[in-house]
Amino acid sequence: MTRRVDLALHLVTDDRLDADALPSIVDAAIDGGVTVVQLRDKRVSAAELVRRARVLSEVIAGRVPLLIDDRVDVALAAIDAGARVDGVHLGQNDIPPTTARRLLGTGAVIGWTANTTAHLQAAHAMPHGTLDYLGVGVIRPTSTKADHPPALGIDGFAERAAATPLACVAIGGVVAEDVVPLRRAGAAGVAVVSAICGAADPAAAARAFARGGDR
């Protein structure tokens, strides 16, 4: 079940970036075709994440959904502070998606990382409507997440996507040339970190991914 969200191209913010550079990168990436922005930084305080969420909310201005990685508390605090935050993306070690759904309500977007068959089984056991999509990866080894699971490759991703009715978003080492094969493998979209955040021209990098999805 998706809540009218275009999952085609997720920008996951890179915690190696200077926070001051983030708003302009996000703005340019949306202009280039990013359809979801996920704020992720595991190193900073909750208060700083709330501040960044408020800044990005103003920059995004409702053009695409803004999700918070891992932190339901930050999402709630940012909403309470007046930011437009549309939901969260949760990992296996975060609070249960069922709890997040109760706290955030039926209109929130909730994604969940699911890299194994056991994760898929757990997702399927949740009440209908708990999850909007699954983040599935990694596709290739990536320096963005040092503790990532073994790479699935496109064939491995296809096996996971075929095993669930939930929308699957591919993440981890994805390049623009992967978009078409991943779409054919059942991907509802792709998630990108450094390939856009670290690009000299984030808008052009986003366009390359968006064009790949349209071929």
Q: Using DSSP, how many helices (H) and how many strands (E) does the chain show?
A: 9, 8
d(CA 4, CA 197): 26
d(CA 27, CA 59): 6
Annotated binding site: 38-42, 69-70, 94, 113, 142-145, 173, 193-194
Strands (E), 42-171: 66-69, 87-90, 109-113, 133-137, 167-171
d(CA 195, CA 69): 18
Give per-residue burial for 40-66: e unless 16+ CB within 10 Å, then b.
Answer: bbeeeeeeebbbbbbbbbebbeeebbb
DSSP 168: E
DSSP 52: H
Annotated binding site for Mg(2+): 70, 94
- HEC sequence for 87-119: EEEECCCCCCHHHHHHHHCCCCEEEEECCCHHH
